Amino acid sequence: MASSAKATISVTLLGTGSPIPSPDRAGPATLISAAGEHYLVDAGRGVLLRLAALGLGAPNLTAVVLTHLHSDHITDLNDVITTRWVMMLEPNPLTIVGPIGTKRVVDHLLASLEADIGYRMAHHEDLHAPPGVNVVEVTQGAIDLGGVVALSCAPTDHRPVEPSIGYRFDYKGASVVAAGDTVPCDGLDSLCVGAGGLVHTVIRKDVIANIPMQRIKDTLDYHSSPEEAAATATRGGVETLILTHYVPPFPSGGGDDWRALAAQHFGGVIELGDDLHRVEVTGAAAKGA
């Protein structure tokens, strides 16, 4: 890279779906990459298939970063843990960052894999130890993982899901915030100040409010709409708003109505799309790819 080149953080929407299975959209997961480091934000359904499409796999991950412990955001964490374990010839523990409670979830996951771990260790002479994991539970502030990308976090508001966490990634003047599921809140606002990019999960409240099913309507009070995510981006002075987690999903190539709703409250660049949509966020500006 030329010395005059601006630092860049790549955001790839690995899974833009939701708990409702879709043939086209994997579960919630986003890859944040910079300087050869790869941070997987949430590990929803099909995450390793989408990583494979990028030529990446579980062994390439610098860390898994969980916004909260809702099932759709962690369904494939077991796949990430196990696949990394069996694909690495040398032990290389997986760092898993998440809210308080993450260690308990990971312990239970490993317990559920006990039979598989036993089979593989008995069968492969060179597998001497079970999957290595390094769980880092966080609440707010800087997170030191020893990499070149600086991580920090703050609490978000996805109640009654508690705790939930938003993350910020900073690399040489480029910055991206990953909000996860949340309503607008002070913690997320604090992360967004001056950020180049904001990745925000959203649901169409105007559509869902008209669906005559209380189980669906229950989701209204703990997610943000495109309009609310846009207002959060505007308050923070964010340059590029990246929407994901589309409920209900829009057809491939669609989403203009989602963009228009967000544009009512945000004058910057708005990105959305299909799984594997990538956005490059630089220190000064962002460009879709």
Residues near Zn ion (CB under 5 A) are 70, 181
Residue among 70 and 205 whose Cβ is closer to Zn ion:
70
How far apart are CB 181 and Zn ion at their closest, in Å? 4
Contact criterion met (CB below 8 Å) for 62 and 82: no
For the chain, give the number of residues: 289
Quote the tokens at residue 267.
């004058």
Rg (CA), the chain: 19
| Residue 45: partners with Cβ closer than 8 Å, 6 or more residues away | 15, 17, 21, 26, 27, 72, 75, 76
Residue among 181 and 271 whose Cβ is closer to Zn ion:
181
Query: Would you please indicate which residues are annotated as catalytic (active-site) residues?
Result: 72
State which H helix or E strand residue 189 sits in. Answer: helix 186-192
How far apart are CB 79 and Zn ion at their closest, in Å? 19
Quote the tokens at residue 146.
């020893």
How far apart are CB 6 and Zn ion at their closest, in Å? 34
How far apart are CB 80 and Zn ion at their closest, in Å? 18
Dihedral through CA 232, CA 238, CA 242, CA 244, nearest 10? -30
How far apart are CB 244 and Zn ion at their closest, in Å? 13
Contacts made by residues 50-55, CB under 8 angstroms, sequence distance 24+: 50/14, 50/15, 50/26, 50/275, 50/276, 51/14, 53/276, 54/12, 54/276
Residue among 70 and 200 whose Cβ is closer to Zn ion:
70
| Residue 183: partners with Cβ closer than 8 Å, 6 or more residues away | 157, 158, 221, 222, 223, 224, 228
Contact criterion met (CB below 8 Å) for 133 and 106: yes
Residue among 182 and 282 whose Cβ is closer to Zn ion:
182
Closest CA to 255 of 245, 265, 268: 245
